[in-house]
Amino acid sequence: MIHNEMHRSHRIGWLRAAVLGANDGIVSTSSLVIGVAAAASSHEAVMLAGVAGLFAGALSMAAGEYVSVHSQADTEKADIELERKHLAAEPEFELQELAAIYEGRGLTRELAAEVASQLMAHDALGAHTRDELGISEITTARPLQAAVFSAVAFSVGAALPLAITWFSPFPVMIWAVAISSLVFLAMLGAVAAKAGGASMVKGSLRVLFWGAIAMGVTALVGKLFGAVV
Full 3-state SS string of the chain: CCCCCCCCHHHHHHHHHHHHHHHHHHHHHHHHHHHHHHCCCCHHHHHHHHHHHHHHHHHHHHHHHHHHHHHHHHHHHHHHHHHHHHHHHCHHHHHHHHHHHHHHCCCCHHHHHHHHHHHHHHHHHHHHHHHCCCCCCCCCCCHHHHHHHHHHHHHHHHHHHHHHHHHCCHHHHHHHHHHHHHHHHHHHHHHHHHHHCCCHHHHHHHHHHHHHHHHHHHHHHHHHHHHHC
- Whether residue 61 is contained in a domain is answered as no
**For the chain, what percent of residues have pLDDT higher than 70?**
84
User: Does some domain include residue 136?
Assistant: no
Domain-located, residue 174: yes
- Summarised one tens digit per residue, pLDDT across range 49-89 is 899 999 998 998 888 888 887 887 788 888 888 888 988 88
| Mean of per-residue pLDDT scores for the chain | 80
| Selected residue with higher pLDDT from 109 and 219 | 109
Which of 55, 57, 36, 38 shows the shortest CA–CA distance to 46? 36
More confident residue, 2 or 201: 201
Q: Is residue 41 a part of any domain in this protein?
A: yes
pTM: 0.69
pLDDT at 135: 74
**For residue 7, is it left (φ>0), alpha (ψ between -120 and 50) or beta?**
beta
- pLDDT value, residue 164: 92
pLDDT tens for 102-131 read 888 888 888 888 888 888 888 888 888 888
pLDDT of residue 158: 92
Is the confidence at residue 19, as pLDDT, over 80? no
Task: Supply the range of the domain harboring residue 201.
Answer: 11-48+144-228
Q: Give the mean model confidence (pLDDT) for residues 4-15.
A: 50
Could you tell me if residue 87 is inside a domain? no
Is 20 contained in some domain?
A: yes
Cβ count near 28 (within 10 Å)? 23
Burial class (CB in 10 A: 0-12, 13-18, 19+), 89: exposed
> Is the pLDDT higher at 4 or at 187?
187
- On whether residue 134 sits in a domain, the answer given is no
For residue 190, the model assigns a pLDDT of 81
Burial of 86 (0-12, 13-18, 19+ CB in 10 A): middle
Q: How many domains does the chain have?
A: 1
| Residue 213 placed within a domain | yes
- pLDDT for the residue numbered 155: 92
Contact 195, 11 (CB under 8 A): yes
Q: Which amino acid is located at 171 in the chain?
A: P
pLDDT at 162: 93
